[in-house]
Amino acid sequence: GAVVSQHPSWVICKSGTSVKIECRSLDFQATTMFWYRQFPKQSLMLMATSNEGSKATYEQGVEKDKFLINHASLTLSTLTVTSAHPEDSSFYICSARDAVEVYEQYFGPGTRLTVT
Amino acid sequence: GQNIDQPTEMTATEGAIVQINCTYQTSGFNGLFWYQQHAGEAPTFLSYNVLDGLEEKGRFSSFLSRSKGYSYLLLKELQMKDSASYLCAFYFYTDKLIFGTGTRLQVFP
């Protein structure tokens, strides 16, 4: 089956620094990837849609200058949390859309970000 | 916007049957997913409903009624490992997946 990886699986950073999270589709090409954020005991909230070779589309209320998304290849999307603050501490999950079974998204294992 | 509601928490006994509801006030979606998510892990796919009716997959079944604005996930022969969160999610023509509030299910022996 399709596999999506994320790196790192967890990260601790100091307030004011930036953190980059990678999302890779390992055995398929993903023209579209999605980034979600999940706070404890809450559901997944879509942050942005990332299309290869073009600018990401952000959901309402998500600051595009704070959450920088780059989708430079068909297998890699990155999310950079800039000037991180403790309230950015969350579980960040990416997913990749299968080009064949277009309705299905494959989720990465998630990245736990803690900002101190 | 979309209002997608699920019960926050449910409990059940091993071997029993449990139904997790997902009610919504949204339209224009392609289909509805159900995912299982264990704490600290990514969601895993359980089922996908496009048409109204019941989709059965082993111990799991999912039902959709667009006219009545609800879906449910039915889990049979509950096992301890079924303790997890269950999320309904709507798939839109824009490729977006919008998730419900999620239900934490705890299975007791």
**B60-104 residue pLDDT tens:** 999 999 988 999 999 999 999 999 999 999 988 777 888 999 999
- Asked if B47 is an interface residue toward chain A (Cβ–Cβ < 8 A), one would say no
Closest-CA distance, B4 to chain A, in angstroms, reads 11
A–B interface: beta-carbon pairs under 8 A: 48
Q: How far is CA A98 from CA A28, A33, A105, B32, B91, in A?
A: 7, 9, 6, 17, 14
3-state secondary structure of B80: helix
When pLDDT is cut at 50, 70 and 90, the band that residue A53 belongs to is: confident
- The answer to whether the CB of A95 falls within 8 A of the CB of A77 is no
Judge residue A97's burial from the number of C-beta atoms within 10 Å of its C-beta, 0-12 exposed, 13-18 middle, 19 or more buried.
buried
Q: Which of A43, A95, A103 sits opposite B48 (nearest CB)?
A: A103
- Asked if B7 is an interface residue toward chain A (Cβ–Cβ < 8 A), one would say no
A5 → chain B, closest CA residue: B42
Q: Which of A2, A6, A5 is nearest to A112 (CA)?
A: A6
Q: Which of A3-12, A91-100, B3-12, B80-89 has the lowest mean pLDDT?
A: A91-100
